Amino acid sequence: MIVKMKDVTLLCLERDRSAALEALRDLGVMHVKLLGRVDSPDVAGLTAKIANTVKVYNILSGRGVSGTPGKAVEPEQLVSDALRYLDEEALVEKQRENLLREIEKLEPWGDFEPELLRKLRASGLHVCLCSAFRSDFPKMTFPEGASVTEISRKGNDVYFAVVSQQPLDPAELHEVSLPDVSLSKLREQLGECGRRLSDIGKQLDALSLSVSTLRAYKEETEQALEFAQNRDGMVKEGEIAYLQGYVPVPAVEKLRTEALKQGWALRIEDPAGDDIRVPTCISKPKWMNIIDPLFDFIGIAPGYRENDVSLFFLIAFPIFFGMLIGDFAYGVMFMATAFLCKYLFRKKEGARLPLNLLILLSAFSIVFGLLQGSCLGLPREILPGPLKGLDFLADPQKSPAACRLAEKLDIANPMDLKDKFIQWFCFLLAALHLSSARVFKTIAEIRNWRSWGNLGWAFLIWGNFFTAVNLIVFPGTFPLYFAGTLYGAGLLLIVVTISGEAALNLPFSIVGSFVDVLSYIRLFAVGLSGVYVGTCFNNMGMMVLDSLPRQLMVLGIAGLILVAVCGHALNILLGIMGVLVHAIRLNTLEFSNHVEMQWTGIKYRPFARENKTEIQ
């Protein structure tokens, strides 16, 4: 349930604004509404501190140094020292790159003192150090009386010196520009850069041992920044300063009590109808919090004037996950990983809900794998009894009930029913999922007579279910007159309650509702593709084994295992991608369209002392 909010303006004496904010932060009920960007020295300084802390944390934590920290370093000093070393490292690295370029220029000429060239030129000899392509060098012409000496060849270039008592044209001879330092001195400087980089690296490694202290430091700085933004963002009118924000209705009385104690003045009113900044505060039972990691991962929240659909997500998403993964062994691996992580991260509260959600999703994958006899793409015949699945789903020709149904539906081969049951279930799931959105929308807006049109759309969706089954799953086996009745009742309700603007799009909306029902067949298609991919990799592994003689059976078995493991790892990744694409889409697009949600919400984040973010 989305909690109703109040728009609150808090007024206090300007000189007491810091004390007022301290008390308000201790109270932890107001979502502060800043009226504009806050520009102040404190805010700018704290923002820079956070940016520097994140930069240092990301760099130092990536160095992968293990060990015990030596002398304790204050976080602020750690950041300062690390930034200084990083700046110096960048400077030395740039100097090193310049030296390498200079050395590359000098290497073809060997080690000589540039001072020698200057002395020769001062004595009246004209010396040009030149380069040319190998193909062009024999064709070159030089001034009469000039001495040409080839120094070296490198790649396609020839390096040579031209000496003459007459002036030379550097442009015509392709004279090269060389550093004013000898090759030996450049190499010496390069060595010094290497040693300095090594020293800087050791200093950074030593600092990285204390990098864990930066988490708490960042959180403290973020709290200080939030406080500074709210303090400096307060509007001042003479001796009075005021702050605006939103408070959940159940917490308003708590705020009033604190206001009487602190001597604040409050203006409490309902948010304006066009106020798009009202945050969304959701109140629900604790057991439903398990779905919160999904919303956090997607980064969505219902708008303040929308509805809380957490329960629908909690019911539908695990079913979608189970159908898309649909493998007993994969589910067991997911669950084992989740329990292992629960043990390893048992002290981290932030890991509890995501891991609980993974356990729930794994259970559904195990259940669907058991029902269909799907385990690592292995043939059903070699699986132990409990893993063979239900004959009704996995091998209909061995199921008396499936054979009777096939006879009733006039289907010659009961095996043709194998995939039909899953397809039928996909369309049934679509009808239940989408019609529940329409019924929920009707109940949520029961006071608006137009909301009854949602029941019409629910009837239409069930009509689409019967039509899809007749067209795709069991042609000619479902009563079309029943679907026609649903279409008629649905269209009547829709036409009676529809608005003028929506009427223009009615034909497209009707077609769209049928497409929405059809789109749930993706659960079958993606799940089936996962089974085939696993089977194909198993067969590829067997091909490796069969291609080798008996003497190399051990090598063949190793090849089989390698191909199977890599293949199933890839299949798991593809399955997870399928969940991210299809399971989330069916909830956030198809379902949300029918419940008319745009997910434009701003999450309620009260001004409080608790830490809210972690370094990413």
pLDDT tens, residue by residue, 77-105 = 999 999 999 999 999 999 999 999 999 98
**Residue 470 CB partners (closer than 8 Å, separation 6+):** 476, 477, 478, 480, 483
- Please state the rounded mean pLDDT for residues 105-122: 87
Q: What is the mean pLDDT of the chain?
A: 90
User: In this structure, what token pair is assigned to residue 301?
Assistant: 């929240």
Helical (H) or strand (E) element with 133: strand 126-133
Q: For residue 366, give the nearest of 396, 336, 398 by alpha carbon.
A: 336
612 falls in which pLDDT band (50, 70, 90)? very low
Angle subtended at Cα 32 by Cα 30 and Cα 38, rounded to the nearest 5 degrees: 155
Spell out where 155-192 has E strands: 157-164
Q: What is the value of pTM for the model shown? A: 0.79
Give the per-residue pLDDT at 70: 67
Whether the CB-CB separation of 191 and 92 falls below 8 Å is answered with no
Structure tokens at 595: 């419940």
> What average pLDDT does this structure show over 320-329?
94
- pLDDT range class, residue 454, cuts 50, 70, 90: very high
Confidence class of residue 616 from pLDDT cuts 50, 70 and 90?
very low
Q: How confident is the model at residue 615 (pLDDT cuts 50, 70, 90)?
A: very low
How far apart are the C-alpha atoms of 273 and 550, rounded to whole Å? 79
Angle between helices 328-344 and 352-372 in degrees, nearest 10: 160
pLDDT at residue 12 tops 70? yes
What's the average model confidence in pLDDT over 488-501? 89
Residue whose pair of structure tokens reads 């930069």 in the numeric block = 55
Say if residue 172's pLDDT is above 90: no
Q: Residue 422, CB half-sphere, CA atoms under 13 Å: how many? A: 26
614 pLDDT above the threshold of 80: no
- Six token digits for residue 11: 């007024």
Distance of CA 360 to the CA centre of its chain: 21
Q: What is the pLDDT of residues 512-571, one digit of tens each?
A: 999 999 999 999 999 999 999 999 999 998 888 888 888 788 888 998 899 999 999 999
Give the pLDDT score at 589: 92
> Which phi and psi (to 5°) does residue 129 adopt?
-95, 120
**pLDDT tens per residue across span 250-296:** 999 999 999 999 999 999 999 998 888 999 999 989 999 999 999 99
**Distance (Å, whole) CA 277 – CA 303:** 9
- Percent of the chain scoring above 70 in pLDDT: 98
Of the ranges 58-67, 564-573, 601-610, the best mean pLDDT one? 564-573
What confidence score (pLDDT) does residue 613 get?
A: 36
